[in-house]
Amino acid sequence: MKTKFKIFIHLGYPKTGTTYLQNYIFNNLTNVNYIGINNKFDRDLYFIRKSILQDDDKQFQKKISFLRTILKKKLKKNMVNIYSDEHFLIPTDKGYKRNIQRIKKLFLEFKNQINIMIFIRKPSDLILSIYKETVKIKKLLKIKYFNDFLDRIEKNKLNNNDRIFLNHYNFLETKKIIKKELTKKIKIYNFDDFRKNQTLFTKKFLKNNNFKINAISIQNINKNLTTSHTIIKKHSIDEIQNKKIYLIFARIFNKILSIKFKYFIKDKIFLLLFGKKEYVNLKNIYIIDEYFRKLNKTNY
């Protein structure tokens, strides 16, 4: 009898409950072999991620056999395997079709056993949350302020680069690419449903997938939806780290804070004191969601 594998690949969009799933659900399932973010850094998984995201086609093709060997060692026979990495749906200047094609090559031997799980979130919430966290969106869109991007959408002045970026968050398009390139077995979950009732959502999620867990640990997650017109961008911490005032305060904090708190709250304090603030016209944030409604009404 041929050995069977059942593989769930979790391609979570960043900021859509991925950390919650990895730390409080996947990592604690009793009937699942979880392959992903854990308390201990996994060099092999990082190597796979880096190859899929960063290698050119020639480099990736040279490594693919080795990558498959790494993956096969991680999978367990006659078990449900969950492979989770939200980085595969992080925005790039080329879109993510190539990433999906590379995942297909990585799992080639197990192509009939693949199931995809994707967590989605309202595009406007998702894009603004990621904008606050990383400078990547600012660089990709070549904007100084988030309002510049809203203006471009409203005035229909989007360039090709803007459309490529926005297409990352067109969930129907995501599903279409995965069905064509990887598998038709796709389950999509809405983060907003999770937000409304975390316990009920988690119980249904476990039941629908036949996952078993000793105890459900519900944590407050992503409750910091932007409700104020003024945001403090986390990536602005990089811009102040070389300033003398930062170095002076850093020496003080390093002496009085424990290692644990130093890394968790030091940057938050610096952001409050020195971080760049930006005004976002939240009344116009709906423009992003409206863009997708019109787009999908036209194309589907």
Residues 82-102: pLDDT tens digits?
Answer: 999 888 887 777 778 899 999
Structure tokens at 166: 């926005």
Radius of gyration of the chain (CA): 21
Whether the CA torsion 152, 132, 186, 50 is positive or negative: it is positive
Q: What does the mean pLDDT of the chain come to?
A: 81
pLDDT at 263: 45
Q: 29-40: per-residue pLDDT in tens? A: 999 999 987 656
Q: For tokens 């459900």, what's the residue?
A: 216
- What is the sign, positive or negative, of the torsion defined by CA atoms of 240, 245, 250, 256? negative
CATH 3.40.50.720 for the 6-227+278-299 domain, yes or no: no
DSSP string, 117-140: EEEE--HHHHHHHHHHH-SHHHHH
Higher pLDDT, 163 or 262: 163
pLDDT at residue 242 tops 60? no
34 neighbors 82 (Cβ within 8 angstroms): yes
Domain with CATH 3.40.50.300 in the chain: 6-227+278-299
Number of H helices, E strands in the chain: 15, 7
User: Mean pLDDT, to the nearest integer, of 115-134?
Assistant: 86
pLDDT of 224 above 60: no
The per-residue pLDDT for 24 is 81
pTM of the model: 0.76
